[in-house]
Every structure is written in C-alpha cells, then in structure tokens.
Structure 1
Amino acid sequence: MDVAGLVAIDVHTHAEVSREGHRSLSDELFEASAKYFKGAARPSISEMAAYYRERRMAAVVFTVDAEHATGHPAISNEEVAESCAEHADVLIPFASVDPWKGVGGAREVRRLVRDHGVRGFKFHPSLQGMAPNDPVAYPLYEAIEEAGVPALFHTGQTGIGAGVPGGGGVRLKYSDPMLVDDVAVDFPELRIVLAHPSFPWQDEALAVATHKPYVYIDLSGWSPKYFPPQLVRYANTLLKDKVLFGSDYPLITPDRWLADFDTLDIKPEVRPRILKDNAVRLLGLGG
C-alpha cells in the first residue's frame, strides 16, 4: 500500500454481500436497514476496491458476526480477508468474531491474525446481544490485545432494526460507550475505537476517549453536518490525534461525508490527522 499517495483512510466500511450473494443480515433486518439508509447500494468487495482506488483512498472492511443473537450466519471472515488481499493497495481486512464464542472465539482471533493477515476486529454489542464488558467476551479481547491490533465497537443508536417491531430484538443499551470503558480498564494496552457519534451518549464517548490513552473515536455513520458541537470541538483540540475518518460505506458514501466535512470548522492542521494520519498510526501502516 502506497500510504503516502493516499488522500484519506476510511476506517469504517461494511462487506454486505458475499461472493455467493449471502447477505450480512437477515432479510427482515436487511430490508429495514435499506429503508433507514434510503436504499444504499450493496457492492461486492471488489467493487468497493475499485471505488476507493478511483478516489485514492484506502478502506478498512469488515462484516459482523452476530449469529448467536440473530440466528443469521455471518459472511466469512476468511472471504473478507482473501478479497482484501486481492486489493491490498486499497483495502485493509478486519474480522468479526461473535463474542459469545468465548475461548473458541479467542482461538479464531489468533488464527485470523496469524493465517489471514487480519488487522483488527469489529464488535456490534447491540446486534450481538451482549454488553461489551461481559466477561464472556474477555478471552477475545485478551487475544486481540496480544496480537496488537485494534478492537472497534459500534456505539450509540443503530439503524439496524430501526422501524421493525421491537427493533428486531436489537437492544440499544449495550452500545453505551461507558460499557467499553470497563474494557479499556481491564485491557490497558488494547487499542479501542468507539465507532460513530455516540447518540445519545456523545459526552460519555468523549469522556472515555480523553481519559483512556488508547481509546479513539471514528466519525462514521453520520453526515458531518449533523455532528454535535462538542464532538467538533474535541476533534479540533483534545482529541485531534484520536479522531478518525469513517464513512459507514455503503450506507453513507465517502463522497457525501467528505463534502460535508469540508464545511466544518476544523483547523487546517487537524484535517489531515483526521482524514489519514491518525489511522496510519493506529493501524501501523507507516512502516
């Protein structure tokens, strides 16, 4: 990967469909998500690579393994990693291991890093039906910490299940970033990313990221024009080295995100940190 030639690194994109057409969510949740995000496209990983290559950007790609809570099998981590390896000039593979797998999940984490070049792991507590600080997940965090790669946690409200009776069983309470604070305490060397503006817990996310040295925030899932003012203020100052560009592609395109980001009152010297430099350091891409 020619890091110097990149204009940005998007740390939050989704593999939504496998090579065989298997969707990342059940039909009910998939259709509700499409409605919530106004019919976003569902590109293949190869199509994602072409999209980012055209824009001189790199992207972190992952799916979500929530089979225990949803009954829906995930897209294979191996497929995501192999597809990213075919496009290593622009794509960076993350994996997702259902935290309910416990010790077995920890073995899977180690294998994915060792054999498939996975560079980080995605958790979606609300979809996976587990609080991040549940000890069942701790063997996975231990393995991720040992591997020296980041753990990215969905935080705040989610569009998945929105409008479905009972939210499709998705419980918002599990995505309170204060629950991730416990993980940061118990695994002090683990690099953690709090994904999204964390509505309705934005102040909590800012508190955790300022207090814990290895906790970052990504800005995915929202158009920047809707960012809370305190998030913009902290991104410009105390957290200028810990805030990351993320779009949530294909649900939100980087084209739209970047156009709206241009209108924010962000200091010129901070913009490149958010768009690329902080991710380069977090992901160890500078060498």
Structure 2
Amino acid sequence: MTAPPQIDVGSIRAIDVHVHLEPDGDATATDAAARKYFGESGAPRDPRALADYYRSRKIAFVVFAVDERLTGRRQVTNEEVVKFAADNRDIAIPFASIDPHRGQEGVEEAKRLVSAGAVRGLKLHPPVQQFFPDDTLAYPLYEVFAAAGLPVVFHTGHSGIGTAMPGGGGVRLKYGNPMPIDDVAVDFPGMPIIMAHPSFPWQDEAISICLHKPNVYIDLSGWSPKYFSPTLVQYANSRLKHKVMFGSDYPFITPDRWLADFETISIRDDVRPLILKANAVKLLGLSTA
C-alpha cells in the first residue's frame, strides 16, 4: 500500500488541480510549439524544483503526466509520478494517465495502481490520445476508477499542444469537444468527472453539462483568467460556484501568473475561497482535521 498524501489542509492557501510532471530538458518540436503558444513561463521542470516552487507558495497540487504516443515527447511514467508524489506527499496528489488504446494491459496497470492506493484519480487527454470520451474503448478504464470512487480528468477544448505546427502536430481538435463527456456522466453517474480547461470553443456546452450532471466539475486551467468568457465568470459566481476549481496547467502557466490574473476578474469574495481551495478539498476527499 502506497502512503497517501499527508496534506495539512489548514496550512495551505490553495489547491492546484492541474499540474503536469514534464520531462526536464525536452527539446522536441512539439514542446517548442507549446512554449511559443503559452509564452515562456520560466517554470522549473526539475521535480525537486517543482515541489519547492509549490511548497514555498503554500499550494498543494494534483500531479500527472500524459500517456500518449502522438507527439514524440518523452513519456513520464505513472511510476515516476507516484514516486514524485510519495517524496512530496505533504503537497502532491498523484493521478495516473493511461492511454485507452493500450487495452487490457492498460486496464491491468490501472487496477494495480488503484488497488495499491498509489493514485487518487485518472488524467485523460482525448485530442492527444486520439479518442472520443464516449468510445466504449475507454469504458473498462472508467470502470476501475468508478468502482473506487476516484475522479477522471478529461482535457477539453482547444489544445495548446500542436498549435501552429504543420497539421497541428497531428492533434485533432474534435476530440476536445466536451459533449461526449455527457454520455460518460450518464453511464458512470457515481464517478466524479473533471472537465479540464475553459472549453473553447465549446464553453457553453461544458457549462451545460456541468450544470446538468451532479458528478461533473470544471477546472479552470490552461487559460489566464483574464481571458475567461463572461458566461463562465457568471456561472462560476452563481450556479456552479461549488463545481469550479483552480488549476494552472503548470509548467505552461504558473500559479503566480494565474492567481495574479484571477485577482483582476469579477469573482465574488465569497466564491474565491471555494474556487481556490474548498471545492477541491471536498472533491478530492482531503481531511480538514
């Protein structure tokens, strides 16, 4: 049994639910294009420096890699993510990532990780992993996490990965449409689902799904808050105030930048603590004792 996170919820000021453990020194064309799209954040990618960055800011975080074979980037394994989180369990919450195309072998890895208590959720990136969320190809994976009551994160909307590369680097944006996630929410009503990112150009669809399905949430990563649509801000302030969460998309966007821009938008004072921390504490089942 892997030791669970030991986060002192009372001592942290926020929880970032969207952090990538990236290969340090990646020099692929895909990585260069992503840096150009997001702007050079200057965020350290070395695991120790990443942990120090968050610890110094009193921010806990969900961490994962992306299991994919489209971009040519070096794969960070689930074992690396689990070890990193174990070494930093005072601030890090590990999620697995498993490409649904791996079939039964991937399902068996998921079962091992979940039964060992090594991970607290699953991260999927349909545009890069090249599948629609409602494809039954992925359902055996969902069954593993649904049985454990653990959340599944889906990338939604536009992809910074592949932007401006010839042919978009092979990334097909159609897989980022959030509407197929509605089917997953129907078929797995007890499985928490997090739609990652403002879902441009399908933001209204994402809001509708989140509003309609009790088990669906939105993380606000991958975009500076100053670019959030008025509709997203409106619903975050009202009917979805308990269902939206802070996420940065580190290292592409840092918490420093995200939080500074978050201060400039018209989120109600009573809603800010929910988005920054309380909603994630509840969804992730973190102890407040």
Q: TM-score range by the shorter chain?
A: over 0.9
1:12 equivalent in structure 2: 18
- Report percent identity of matched pairs: 57
Q: Structure 1: give runs of 5+ residues left out of the alignment.
A: none
1:281 and 1:244 map into 2 onto residues whose CA distance is 11
1:123 equivalent in structure 2: 124
Post-superposition offset of 1:226: 0.7
Equivalent position SS for 1:83 = helix
- 1:152-196 deviation line (CA, Å, top 9, x unaligned): 000000110011110011000001010111111111111000000
- The size of the alignment, in residue pairs, is 281
Contact 1:45/1:84 (<8 A) preserved: no
Contact 1:153/1:193 (<8 A) preserved: yes
Contact 1:110/1:147 (<8 A) preserved: no
1:43 equivalent in structure 2: 45
Equivalent position SS for 2:179 = helix
Q: Structure 2: give runs of 5+ residues left out of the alignment.
A: 1-6
Residues 1:273 and 2:279 aligned together: no
2:198 equivalent in structure 1: 197
2:30 and 2:44 map into 1 onto residues whose CA distance is 14
1:165 and 1:32 map into 2 onto residues whose CA distance is 11
2:160 equivalent in structure 1: 159
Post-superposition offset of 1:102: 2.5
TM-score by length of 2: 0.93
2:224 and 2:34 map into 1 onto residues whose CA distance is 17
The letter for the 2-side match of 1:201 is: W
Aligned with residue 60 of structure 2, among 51, 58, 61:
58
RMSD, aligned α-carbons = 1.5
- 1:202-261 deviation line (CA, Å, top 9, x unaligned): 000000000000100000011111100000010011101100000111111111111111
2:141 and 2:168 map into 1 onto residues whose CA distance is 27
1:246 equivalent in structure 2: 247
Q: In structure 2, do the counterparts of structure 1 residues 246 and 275 end up closer, same or farther at CA, with 3 Å as the change threshold?
A: same
2:22 and 2:259 map into 1 onto residues whose CA distance is 22
Post-superposition offset of 1:71: 5.8
2:4 equivalent in structure 1: none
2:113 and 2:50 map into 1 onto residues whose CA distance is 22
2:3 equivalent in structure 1: none
Equivalent position SS for 1:122 = strand
Contact 2:71/2:169 (<8 A) preserved: no
1:216 equivalent in structure 2: 217
Post-superposition offset of 1:13: 0.8
**1:88-167 paired onto structure 2 within 5 Å:** 88-115=89-116, 117-167=118-168
Q: Which segments of structure 1 move beyond 6 Å, counting only runs of 4 or more?
A: none
Post-superposition offset of 1:42: 4.7
Post-superposition offset of 1:70: 4.5
Contact 2:28/2:73 (<8 A) preserved: no
Post-superposition offset of 1:286: 2.1
1:80 and 1:7 map into 2 onto residues whose CA distance is 23
TM-score by length of 1: 0.94
1:82 equivalent in structure 2: 83
1:188 and 1:2 map into 2 onto residues whose CA distance is 30
1:85 and 1:216 map into 2 onto residues whose CA distance is 26
2:220 and 2:256 map into 1 onto residues whose CA distance is 14
2:284 equivalent in structure 1: 283
Q: In structure 2, do the counterparts of structure 1 residues 72 and 263 end up closer, same or farther at CA, with 3 Å as the change threshold?
A: closer
